Every structure is written in structure tokens, then in C-alpha cells.
Amino acid sequence: MDLPAAPQRTLRQLPPRPLDWYTQAVLLFGGYMSQVGWALLALGSVFFWTLAVRSEAVEWFRGSTANWQDKEGVILEADSTGTVEDGQRIWRYLHSVAPGDGYRYKGVSYSVCKKFDAGQLAYIRFDADDPRNNFAVGLRRSEHRWQVNLLLLIPLLGLLLVAYPLRRNLKVLRLLKIGDFTRGRLISKNPTGEAVRLGAKVLPVFRFEFRFEHNGTVYHATCHTHHPALVEDEDSESILFDRYKPSFNLVYDAVPHLPKITPAGRLAPVPAEKAWVLFAPGFVVGVNLVYLVGLWF
């Protein structure tokens, strides 16, 4: 015995439809690829502010235009950092130099394996225009070697993954606000050869194509999803389209996090449990603001 078809929903709320900021944020930052991108940006933000901004490469760029001079100075402290590079311990040296303006300026340098003891003399290279910018000759200015900057590929990849679905998400928001509602008939379902892993499950991704009419002209709407039941549960599927450009459309049930359509034909508020979508973007913004404020003050 065949099961009865699911009752068809109809969006009767006319455009332009108001969307609260929470709904718009969930839709803008939602989606599997976008969330992976934000996670990589979160990891990359922590790395950037704790390692990359203090790497040897950054210090080299900062000092490329300095007016360097060398003068004998003294090592004040020599301590192990506790970190190891190529099997050898990294040492941190606090040193000072008096460039001749009546002040002594302190600085920090690093080396792989111990080079100096406290109290030893060493040549200090300093910027004559800003003697606070100084380091011991023959030592490096950062605990981390320049290769650590290669890890910047992590946030760069995250940025690409965030930017790629952004155009699609903006399209979704626009059609939710101004789109007309219609129904489309399924005309094809084909595997894409791609898959999405959810825990221990590997779900194949399918491409669906639907047919709908507007003002006597036939148009097509396509979608990709690894949850085919979402777009096969009704005799015809919900389509939102731009009346002035019907080829600009979306298959409603194939888009994650979209508001439910109430029995009265209106868009229901996005439930509060969807707020997890905003965690990674909020973390990225928060971490960068904290470090920027710290630099400012």
C-alpha cells in the first residue's frame, strides 16, 4: 500500500519579506563548506596572532628599511624558552645597548643552542632612528623561524572556503526577500560522483533538476544534495524565483537552515538551536578584535 504524499506547503507571504538579523546571519554563514572555512579561519587567526606576527620573516620585513648601526652591548639574561628546533633547545636573550643618546635600550634575541651567558658582551644592531628596535648580531629576532609562515596557508584556504559559498548564500537571502513561489516537477536525478562524510556514514551527492512554468515559459531549477529525501517527499517541490529573471531560482528544501513555511503560508522564525552556525564566525571576529585592541593599547 502506497503511503499518502506529504501535504504541500504554499508560501503565501508576499514580497518583500522582512528577515530579522538572526535569520540572515544563519543563512549567510550556513552550509557545510562555509562552516569548514570558518573553522580554518578560527584556527588560522589564533596561529597568526600567536606565531606569524612574531616570525623571523615578519621581523625581516619590519627591519628592511631601518637605519642599522652596530655597537657593543651586554647580555642581561639568558634563558631557555623550553621549545626545541631540530633537536636543539631555543634560547632567549635579554640584552641592552647604549647608542649614545644618554639612554640604554633593551631588546630580545633568540638562538638555536646556547650562544651567550648573562653578563657577556655582544654586538647589538639597532635602528639609529628608533633604538628600541634592536637585536644581537648573529642571532635571530624571533623564537620561530620563517618557515612557520607557511602555516598561513590554513587561514588562506579557510578564506577561500568562506568566500566560495558567499555568492550562493546572498542569492538565497535575496530570493527569500523578493522571490515568487511556485512548484516544480522532478525531471532528472543523477549522481554527481561526490560524497559527504557524516561520522561513519558516506552519503552520495545527487543533482536534481526540476521544471516549472512562468508566464507560459518553461524554466529549470537545479540543486545538489546528499539528503535526497528532502526534495522527493512531495509530488512537486517548492521553488523560489525572481519574476524578472526566472532562471535566478532555488529549490527551497535543498538549502540548509531555510525557515520553515507555516500552515498559514508564512516564513517561520529560524529556531534558536541554529545559533551554532554563528559560533565559528563569532569566534573569528572576537579573536581578531581582542588582539587588535591589545595592539592598539
Dump pLDDT digits (tens) for 25-43. Answer: 999 998 888 999 999 999 8
Q: Return the C-alpha cell found at 151.
A: 602555516
Task: Please check whether residue 57 lies inside any domain of the structure.
Answer: no
- Among 95, 113, 143, give the residue marking a domain's end: 143
Torsion angle (degrees, nearest 10) of CA 41, 150, 140, 86: 110
* 14 contacts: CB under 8 Å, gap ≥ 6: none
Q: Are residues 267 and 178 in the same domain?
A: yes
Q: Are residues 179 and 273 in the same domain?
A: yes
Give the total number of structural domains in the chain. 2
Q: Are residues 194 and 105 in the same domain?
A: no
pLDDT the model gives residue 59: 62
pLDDT the model gives residue 3: 46
Domain that holds residue 238: 21-45+156-289
Q: Are residues 38 and 163 in the same domain?
A: yes
Q: Are residues 160 and 279 in the same domain?
A: yes
Q: Which residues of the chain have pLDDT under 50?
A: 1-3
Q: Are residues 256 and 187 in the same domain?
A: yes
pLDDT the model gives residue 2: 46
Q: Are residues 99 and 124 in the same domain?
A: yes
pLDDT the model gives residue 1: 43
CA 124, 125, 127: angle at the middle one, nearest 5? 135
pLDDT the model gives residue 297: 63
Q: Which long-range contacts (CB under 8 A, 24 or more apart) does 146-151 make?
A: 146/55, 146/56, 146/57, 146/60, 148/51, 148/52, 148/55, 149/52, 149/55, 149/57, 149/58, 151/44, 151/47, 151/51, 151/52
Q: Are residues 180 and 211 in the same domain?
A: yes
Here the CATH number for the domain that contains residue 114 is: 2.40.50
Q: Return the C-alpha cell found at 207.
A: 543533482
Q: Kindly report the length of the chain.
A: 297
Give residue 70's Cα distance to chain centre. Answer: 43
Q: Return the C-alpha cell found at 21.
A: 538579523
Q: Are residues 119 and 242 in the same domain?
A: no
What's this model's pTM, rounded to 2 decimal places? 0.68
Q: Return the C-alpha cell found at 273.
A: 538551536
Smallest CA-to-CA distance from 94 within 103, 105, 84, 86 is with 105
Task: Please check whether residue 207 lies inside any domain of the structure.
Answer: yes
